[in-house]
Amino acid sequence: MISNLGAMRVENVKENLIFSLDVWPETGVSCDFALSPSVILPYLTAGEEDLGEVPNILTSLRGHLDLQLAGKRLLVKGNFAVKTEMMCSRCLSNFIGKVGDTIDEVVELGRGETLSPDEDPESFIAVRDGKFDLSPLIAELFWLSWPVRAICRPDCKGLCPGCGANLNDGTCLCHETKVTRH
């Protein structure tokens, strides 16, 4: 039988980041995940970066997590990646870029407490009914890995300072005038 590894792995992929402490194995928890944008979007609106609006995420957010519990501390290692629309800081046009990073975090699990808005989800995760949700943490890491200066392509020519034309689309009139003066 010819097996498709990619298709087989789908069965073990988590579609949320809710974990239960009631069935926590001593060896820790390891899983792949694929979150639909709707799982992560509610947490992205509270992002620290002032990007104006919620990003248009184009794929499910995929990654891997290795979780180890040490007392109330949870060691979170893994990675994540997602394709999203972003704006080029040179030519100001929208393009499809990738946001992703490795994950190496230590968070504190608070039993029974609720997470208030001013508490940093990077360092504190609430536990309710024996369960905790790492979606706020991943949302935080999503913003942290968002490029400070996104570029649509390495050789983006940007906008003409004279007329504002997108120079990737061709030469503007200002540049043509300069050339003909030579």
Q: Which of 163, 170, 171, 178 forms a contact with Zn ion (CB under 5 A)?
A: 163
174: contact with Zn ion by CB under 5 A? yes
Closer CB to Zn ion, residue 106 or residue 174? 174
Residue pair 81/100 in contact (Cβ under 8 Å)? The answer is: yes
156: contact with Zn ion by CB under 5 A? yes
Q: How far is the CB of 30 from Zn ion (least distance, A)?
A: 39
162: contact with Zn ion by CB under 5 A? yes
Q: How far is the CB of 83 from Zn ion (least distance, A)?
A: 17
160: contact with Zn ion by CB under 5 A? yes
Q: Which of 39, 74, 88, 138 forms a contact with Zn ion (CB under 5 A)?
A: 88
Stretch of 40-48, 50-58, 67-75, 83-91 contacting Zn ion, by CB under 5 A: 83-91
Which residues make up the interface to Zn ion (CB under 5 A)?
88, 90-91, 152, 156, 160, 162-163, 165, 172, 174
